[in-house]
Chains A and B, each alone.
Chain A
């Protein structure tokens, strides 16, 4: 049970405003991810929810209970820290029991909770160890166990996986997601890793410079970015951005890539985008197209509007499941994602298909979405 509402949260340090009015409302028991580059204010926002820092303005509501001014212990929350912050002098057992003792939970109940948590996280055999005798992954589990034992209304995670190695990170990622399903509790998760955000979140808030750039489902953040920042931040490798000019040609409204010597290659516009971009006729705008939307003709799906261009593969990066092709279009660097079976060598010319249906357009000056 848990529903978090942040209403117009501001935070200033002296004259420096770092959060400029944050508004988020989660659904029941949702997994909210706060993501953004370092310094965007996501950790400050988490600390404000936790009560470890004080907001300069705005309201925090958890299940319609106003949290403003309450100390962390009265907020019915638990938190997992990036450094795990396990108490070094206490055994794993006491690390987990500490919060329960503070809350004067009866002894029999404490022991029961401890056993349940230990079983859930498979740390039963570690209970008598000290934190320093544990591996990073085990410490992580204990830190999560300590949070779960509290049975809070809201879990807060502050980049909990960033100190783990790549393999363990993927494992713990799905484990936290599974926990969320089992516990049916709201979670707020801060990360700078967009894969974590995409894979775990029900709701993602992309933040930059103290402002929420977009709040939405992973699918809408990825496919329907609100502005150029979100489009460029989410996705790896990053979305391609090309300067283009909308021109009226014989086949209707088209795009010309702005090359070093005037108009370059032609890119057709699918019908649904024609209307939306007509007002931009003759203007230089930014085309955004993801690497997986520039691919080998063989990987194209039936019925998609494609436009093929012959380009030179400057550099190849085989990732396994697919191969990244670094190329240039009228002088602008471009990344394409092709099927690994595509026969390619560096320096070779190849045909790449542009899926213009999925292209997005931004104002080149302020990055707002045009279409």
Chain B
């Protein structure tokens, strides 16, 4: 009885989250007449791929009618360097803050922590000014990439710092006596122990940057925009009829990369968040 009620509650909760996904999925495979005539929960009569095809390569977004695919690739061009660079710098920061302590290290760490509670909006104006000064305003690379690297540093540093704190300092001391320098110790001793936290940080940054809309809409011009902004434009583009199926298909396409990342690296995410580093 108790078990049954638990399953009931869990089932309801799952339904609550899965229902919108279900609606998106079935709608994306329907034709427009089906959408108008059948109920919202009804299954499509047959799998119609028109909406997916149109969303990918035909829909009108801004001035072009190539669908969302250029913007989808824009997002990759943004995410890949931004994730790699912000993770790498976060790793170095965390390494310095834990194993190369300097005067004021704690103050710097707490200031960095402050960065994790800044809302996106706070940095818009100062960042726009900086980008103007650097003559990179409106660009995807390096403009938007830079925004995401800087905004992400607080998080990546925090992750790596908290992970490296549990790695015994004697390893660094031993390596120093063994004749290794700052970067060699990082490369040969710390990084090989860092797989879980690299996964956590990379997934976190990938999701944050891929799904981000505000920075994209503020800091890039039309053909440089990431896919999130393109979807918004697609939905906003008013033509004679609102193509619900195309909207749904475009949104699903944009969601696929984050899903794939979770499926591939999700086990590291859980492990990295719960597990400690190395036992001495």
Contact = CB atoms under 8 A, between A and B. Distances in A.
Interface of A: 50, 52, 71-73, 77-79, 81-83, 85, 87-90, 98-99, 102-103, 132, 146, 150, 156
Given A83-B168, A83-B170, A85-B170, A52 B278 contact: no
Interface stretch (B24-32, B56-64, B173-181, B202-210): B173-181
A78 B178 CA distance: 7
Contacts of A52: 173, 176-177
Interface of B: 168, 170-171, 173-181, 184, 188-189, 192-193, 278-280
A81 B279 CA distance: 15
B189 A89 contact: yes
A6 B168 CA distance: 29
Contacts of A132: 279
A146 B188 CA distance: 16
Given A50-B173, A79-B177, 14 more contacts: A50-B177, A52-B176, A72-B173, A73-B176, A79-B173, A81-B170, A87-B188, A87-B189, A89-B192, A98-B175, A99-B177, A99-B179, A102-B178, A102-B179
Provide the main secondary structure of the chain B interface.
helix
A167 B174 CA distance: 27
A85 B171 contact: yes
B83 to A, nearest CB: 23
Contacts of B170: 81-83, 85
Contacts of A99: 177-179
A77 B188 CA distance: 21
A89 B193 CA distance: 6
A98 B178 contact: yes
Nearest to B180: A102
7 contacts: A50-B173, A52-B176, A79-B173, A81-B174, A88-B193, A88-B278, A99-B179
Contacts of B168: 83, 85
A103 B179 contact: yes
A94 to B, nearest CB: 9
A145 to B, nearest CB: 12
B178 A146 contact: yes
Going nearest first, the 5 A-B pairs with the smallest beta carbon separation are A89-B192, A102-B179, A99-B178, A85-B170, A85-B174
A88 B192 CA distance: 9
Contacts of B181: 73
A132 B179 CA distance: 23
Nearest to B174: A85
A71 B176 contact: yes
Nearest to B190: A89
Contacts of A88: 171, 193, 278
B182 to A, nearest CB: 11
Given A89-B189, A89-B193, A77 B177 contact: yes
B176 A72 contact: yes
A77 B180 CA distance: 13
Contacts of A77: 177
A50, A90, A99: most-surrounded residue (chain B CB, <10 A): A99
A252 B18 CA distance: 103
A103 B177 CA distance: 11
Contact of A79 (B171, B174, B279): B174
A10 B175 CA distance: 26
A79 B171 CA distance: 12
B173 A73 contact: no
Contacts of A85: 168, 170-171, 173-174, 280
Contacts of B184: 102
Contacts of A81: 170, 173-174
Contacts of A90: 188, 192
A102 B178 CA distance: 7
Given A81-B170, A85-B168, A85-B170, A73 B189 contact: no
Contacts of B171: 85, 87-88
A89 B280 CA distance: 12
Nearest to A78: B177
Contacts of B179: 73, 99, 102-103
A298 B168 CA distance: 55
A49 to B, nearest CB: 11
Contacts of A98: 175, 178, 180, 188
Nearest to B178: A99
A313 B175 CA distance: 55
A73 B177 contact: yes
Contacts of A82: 170
A142 to B, nearest CB: 12
A73 B178 CA distance: 6
A134 to B, nearest CB: 13
